[in-house]
Amino acid sequence: MRRSHLVAALAELVAIPSVSSDPNRVADVQRCARLLATRLGEIGLARVQLMGDARRPLVYGEWLRAPGRQTVLIYGHYDVVAAEPAAFRPNVRGAYLYGRGASDDKGPLLCHLIAIGERLRRDGALPVNVRVLLDGEEEIGSPALGRLVHEQPESLRADIALVSDTRMLGPGRPTLVYGLRGKLDARIVVRGRDRDLHSGQFGGVVANPANVLCSLVGSLVGADGTIALPGFYDGVRSDDLADAAARPALDVTGLLGGHTGPGVKGIIPARASAQLSFRLAPGQRPQRVRALLRKHCARPAPTGVSVKLTTAGGRPPLALDPKSPAQRAAARAAAAAFGRAPALIRSGGSIMAPVLFRELLGLESVLLGFALPDDGIHGPVERVHLPTLERGIVASGCFLDELAVLSRVAVAA
């Protein structure tokens, strides 16, 4: 019964190509938002509304009828990254539902909606107060959420946030994430003349933007993976360096310049550019990395060449205390649902929402995700493991119960 309901509800969401990075998909994003709003109303949430950016709305609903109890802000996102059209035709094979967004993040967010719906149907009430907030822009950095928490922080007032957008270590291995890396995107554009020059005539005479770019980027990245930006590692603890999921990283994510086709063209390119992605460990701040990078890129360029640096997507790392009452409540809920105490890990990824919640709402997040490592998130073939989602539904309900216990403890104290 629960499986067929889960499959039907998830397939309906996966079938909508709610790709936030594609301007041609705005109508699909909006359609997905309206469907979710309908579902929030159906399960019994109040004040259901679309908030933020009308093109890619935040979907909100609440149940705040447990005075004196804690309030949990359940966050998920219904936008997805781009995929071939076939990826939006959901299908079930064995224990898996295939399709873009099945695992990131439509399946996990659905766990919470189903858990809430079941409780309200069964008990007519929830053990704690709940706000549900579903983001339509997570994959593009959650700009509307950023504005919302900045401008109307009271609208999201809560005691704890629950975010299910991380991975488990494997099937049957529940996982609580207590750290996320920070992030900074950078773009370096080196410009020379307004047109390509003949390298026979001008090679060795006129400075080459592509040479300058390679020299500059090459001075940032060591072949062994170390980052050579002076001062970059300051403040990073040595045990974080030993942790692959917490270690800072610098990846060249894109390179473009000059002749890129087959054959050979003897030119000094007019311009060359690189895209860089920094991942930051605890102790690092994007603002400081930006300043270090700016200083490094300000080194004098050869005559006739200009170096332009732009940065975006700055996001500090997130460090949570795995021993906090909320994290321990989540660990108990996960253990109850999966029959095994959760692993406590740090993740290499970066999610904006928990950072915004901490920085602007002073709100601690619980990162209890239901994705598996081989779900193929962002890949051509994404899927989700349905039995794991079913455990996720149980875990979500148990977490509300555990929060209710915490509420009583708080009242008693």
Site residues for its own copies, 4-33, by CB under 8 A, read: 21
How many residues at the interface with its own copies, by CB under 8 A? 70
Q: Which range of residues in 39-47, 256-264, 357-365, 403-411 is near its own copies by CB under 8 A?
A: 256-264
130 binds its own copies (CB under 8 A): no
Amino acid identity of residue 216, one-letter, is L
Nearer to its own copies, 127 or 141 (CB): 141
Residue selected from 68, 143, 170, 218 as contacting its own copies according to rule CB under 8 A:
218
> Scanning the structure block, which residue is given the tokens 């695992």?
103
Residue 72 Cα distances to 136, 163, 170, angstroms: 20, 10, 27
Query: Which residue has tokens 């790709």?
Result: 19
Pairwise CA distance, residues 319 & 335, whole Å:
22
Start-to-end CA span in the chain (Å): 42
Stretch that binds its own copies, among 285-293, 331-339, 344-352, 388-396 (CB under 8 A): 344-352
> In angstroms, what is the minimal distance from the CB of 147 to its own copies?
19
Among the listed ranges 57-65, 151-159, 216-224, 335-343, the one in contact with its own copies (CB under 8 A) is 216-224
What one-letter code names the amino acid at 160? I
Q: Where are the beta strands (DSSP E) in 14-171?
A: 46-51, 58-63, 71-77, 91-93, 96-98, 129-135, 160-163
Q: Which of residues 268-297 bind its own copies (CB under 8 A)?
A: 268-269, 272, 274-275, 277, 279
Smallest separation, CB 351 to its own copies (Å): 9
Residue from 146, 257, 342, 369 binding its own copies (CB under 8 A): 257
**Of 60, 276, 68, 128, the residue nearest 189 (C-alpha):** 276
The reply on whether position 44 binds its own copies by CB under 8 A is no
Query: Which residue is it, tokens 């997905």?
Result: 32
User: Rounded CA gap, 373 and 260, in Å?
Assistant: 35
Residue 350 interacts with its own copies (CB under 8 A): yes or no: yes
124 in contact with its own copies (CB under 8 A): no
What is the spatial distance between Cα 274 and Cα 289, in angstroms, rounded to a whole number? Answer: 17
Residues that bind its own copies (CB under 8 A): 21, 181, 183, 185, 195, 198-205, 207-208, 210-225, 244, 247-260, 263-269, 272, 274-275, 277, 279, 299, 301-302, 312-313, 347-350, 377-379
